């Protein structure tokens, strides 16, 4: 409660115009929303892991709660730590700790990656642009990580167009067929 009281105090002093949270699960999100609302403080955003690979129960529940309360979802890791870029394969894994996770999940992503690639070719876009645009079509604000100016420029190509509802459904179906899903954020509260 001390943290929440601090947020209220910042709002009351005019230091912030609204509040956003990160990694709040469904229950905590509702609690802080009610707490802030009772004190006249707007909760405007919730940052959560959200991508075609992380459509777990919690993410979908958080998305529904946010939609019903007028809170914007900020989707971090919209490219699934890089698994949705088309850059990696079972034979070409990233270095470091991600390689273990990729080794577990990537082999089962062929249908999803193939669907992403098909749509990208048809649309004259890249695989990452399609994956990011899916997040936009779901009403989120994606914040993909980048390691270069080139990647940042490429990601801009996800803007200014929209996947069709049929393409969104194809992607979601392909994602649902993946035998292993993305590990959900261990820092997210319930």
- Tens of pLDDT, residue by residue over 114-143, are 999 999 999 999 999 999 999 999 999 999
Q: With left for phi above 0 and alpha for psi between -120 and 50, is residue 140 left, alpha or beta?
A: beta
Q: The pTM is what?
A: 0.91
Residue with tokens 């459904």, as numbered in its chain: 169
What's the pLDDT at 76? Answer: 95
For residues 86 and 128, the answer to whether their CB atoms sit within 8 Å is yes
Walk me through the domains of the chain, giving residue ranges and CATH numbers.
2-176 (3.20.20.100)
- Report the alpha-carbon distance of residue 66 to residue 122 in Å, rounded: 33
Cβ burial of 56 (10 Å; 0-12, 13-18, 19+) is middle
- The whole-number average pLDDT for the span 155-181 is 94
| Each residue's pLDDT tens digit, 6-50 | 999 999 999 999 999 999 999 999 999 999 999 999 999 999 999
Q: What percent of the chain has pLDDT over 70?
A: 95
Cα–Cα separations (whole angstroms), residue 10 to 3, 36, 41, 168: 11, 12, 10, 40
């Amino acid at each position: 409660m001390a943290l929440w009281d601090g947020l209220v105090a910042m709002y009351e002093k005019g230091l912030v115009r609204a509040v956003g949270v990160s990694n709040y699960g469904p229950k905590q999100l509702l609690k802080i929303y009610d707490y802030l609302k009772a004190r006249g403080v707007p909760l405007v955003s919730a940052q959560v892991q959200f991508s075609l690979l992380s459509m777990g129960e919690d993410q979908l529940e958080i998305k529904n709660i946010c939609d019903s309360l007028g809170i914007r979802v900020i989707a971090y890791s919209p490219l699934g730590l890089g698994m949705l870029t088309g850059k990696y394969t079972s034979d070409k894994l990233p270095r470091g700790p991600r390689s273990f996770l990729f080794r577990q999940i990537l082999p089962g992503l062929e249908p999803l990656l193939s669907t992403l690639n098909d749509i990208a070719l048809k649309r004259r876009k890249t695989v990452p642009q399609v994956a990011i645009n899916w997040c936009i079509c779901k009403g989120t604000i994606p914040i993909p990580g980048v390691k270069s100016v080139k990647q940042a420029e490429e990601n801009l190509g996800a803007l200014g167009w929209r996947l069709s509802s049929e393409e969104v459904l194809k992607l979601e179906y392909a994602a649902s067929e993946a035998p292993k899903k993305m590990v959900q954020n261990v820092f997210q509260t319930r």
